[in-house]
Amino acid sequence: MTISIAHLGPTGTYSETAALAYKNWLAKNQQQQAILSPQPSIAVALSSVVKEKVNYAVVPVENSIEGSVVITLDMLWEQTSLKILRAFNIPITHTLLSFNTSLDSITTVYSHPQALGQCQKWLESHLPQVQLIPANSTTESLKYLKEHSHTAAIASSRAAELYQIPILRSGINDRPDNCTRFLVVGSATSNCGSYLSLAFSLPKNVPGALVKPLQIFATRNLNLSKIESRPTKRSLGEYIFFMDVEGSLKDPLVQEAIAELEQHTEVLNIFGNYDLISVLSGVRGGKET
C-alpha cells in the first residue's frame, strides 16, 4: 500500500525537502512507498491527519534560532488524536535570490519572518538600508521578485533551482549550525521510542506549581531535552508546558514518573514516545539515535 504524507507546500519549501527526505527514508528502511500531499498551511496539513485524508503530516516544530513553531505546538495540544511517530533534523542554509545582479541596488528583501530573523546580522552588515518584509513562506516571497527589480528574497537553494531564480549570495544565515526539527505526525500511538513528548497545564496561580513536575523527572535522573511554555487561551500569565523527556514508556521509572505527574497537573497530554531518526546521511544534526 502506498501511503500519503501532508506537508506545507507548494513545491520548493523546506517542509517539502523534509517530507521528501522522510519519503526516501521510508522507502529505504521500511520498504514503504509514499506520495507527498502539499497543503496551504501547517495547520491544514495537521488537520488532514485528524480528518484521515492523509496518513501522516511532516511538520516543523523547532528551529535552533527562532525557537518553536507555535502553530504545531497549539495543534498538538488541541487535537488530541494527533500523535508524534518520529522526529528528525534538517540543516537550513539560506540563500539570497534576485533577478538583480548587484547587492547595492537591492532596496527590499522578502521572506518568512523566521528566515529574516536567521539572517539578521548578515542583513544588517551587508544590506543595512533595505526594507525587510515578511511573507507567509520562503516560497511565497519569490513571487515579489518579478514585480520589482530591486527586490530580493531569502529562500533555499532548491527553490532557486525550481523557480529558476539566480542566487545573489548563498550561506547567509548568521550561524552555520542552523537546523530545524521536523515531526512525523499520525494518528496511531507510538510508545517504544527514546524521546517522550508531552504537555500539561497546572492548577492556576499556585506559586511554585512547576517545581513538582520538574522534580518528578529530576529525582529519577530523567533528562528533559526541551521545556517550552505557551500561554493558555484564558489569559496572559497562564501557561501550558511542553516537555521532551529522554526515556521510553517501556521503562518502569518513566511509567512511574508519568503516573506521579498526572496527580500534579490539570490536563496532561502525551504526544508520543518516538525515535529521532537520521534521514540525511552524512549530515550533522542534533543528537541522533
- If DSSP codes are grouped into helix, strand and coil, which group holds residue 151? strand
Task: For the segment 218-237, give every residue that binds its own copies (CB under 8 A).
Answer: 218-219, 221-231, 233-237
If the CB atoms of residues 104 and 287 are measured against its own copies, the closer one turns out to be 287
All cell numbers assigned to 128? 543595512
If the CB atoms of residues 26 and 179 are measured against its own copies, the closer one turns out to be 179
All cell numbers assigned to 267? 490536563
DSSP-assigned states of every residue in 18-48: HHHHHHHHHHHHH---EEEEEESSHHHHHHH
If the CB atoms of residues 34 and 83 are measured against its own copies, the closer one turns out to be 83
If the CB atoms of residues 26 and 119 are measured against its own copies, the closer one turns out to be 119
- Could you tell me the smallest distance in angstroms from the CB atom of residue 270 to its own copies? 20
For residue 225, what is the enclosing H or E element? strand 224-231
90/92 Cα distance (integer angstroms): 6
If the CB atoms of residues 135 and 160 are measured against its own copies, the closer one turns out to be 135
| Interaction of residue 113 with its own copies, rule CB under 8 A | yes
No. of helices (H) and no. of strands (E), the chain: 8, 15
If the CB atoms of residues 63 and 273 are measured against its own copies, the closer one turns out to be 63
| CA distance readout (Å), 120 to 90, 116, 174 | 21, 6, 7
Among 205, 263, 281, 282, binds its own copies (CB under 8 A): 205
| Interaction of residue 112 with its own copies, rule CB under 8 A | yes
Task: For the segment 1-60, give every residue that binds its own copies (CB under 8 A).
Answer: 40-44, 47
| Interaction of residue 136 with its own copies, rule CB under 8 A | yes
| Interaction of residue 91 with its own copies, rule CB under 8 A | no
If the CB atoms of residues 29 and 223 are measured against its own copies, the closer one turns out to be 223
289/279 Cα distance (integer angstroms): 11
Task: For the segment 153-182, give every residue that binds its own copies (CB under 8 A).
Answer: 174-175, 177, 179, 181
Q: Is the four-CA dihedral 183, 187, 192, 198 of positive or negative sign?
A: positive
If the CB atoms of residues 11 and 219 are measured against its own copies, the closer one turns out to be 219
Cβ distance 137 to 69 under 8 Å? no
- Could you tell me the smallest distance in angstroms from the CB atom of residue 274 to its own copies? 16
For residue 270, what is the enclosing H or E element? strand 267-276
Choose the binding region for its own copies from 19-27, 29-37, 127-135, 259-267 (rule: CB under 8 A). 127-135
Q: Which residue has the cell 528551529?
A: 63
Q: Per DSSP, which regions of 48-174 are E strands?
A: 56-63, 67-68, 83-91, 95-97, 108-111, 131-134, 151-155, 167-170
| Interaction of residue 258 with its own copies, rule CB under 8 A | no
User: Footprint of its own copies on this chain (CB under 8 A)?
Assistant: 40-44, 47, 62-67, 70-71, 74-75, 78, 89, 112-114, 117-118, 120, 131-137, 140, 143, 174-175, 177, 179, 181, 205, 207-208, 210-211, 214-215, 217-219, 221-231, 233-237, 239, 286-287
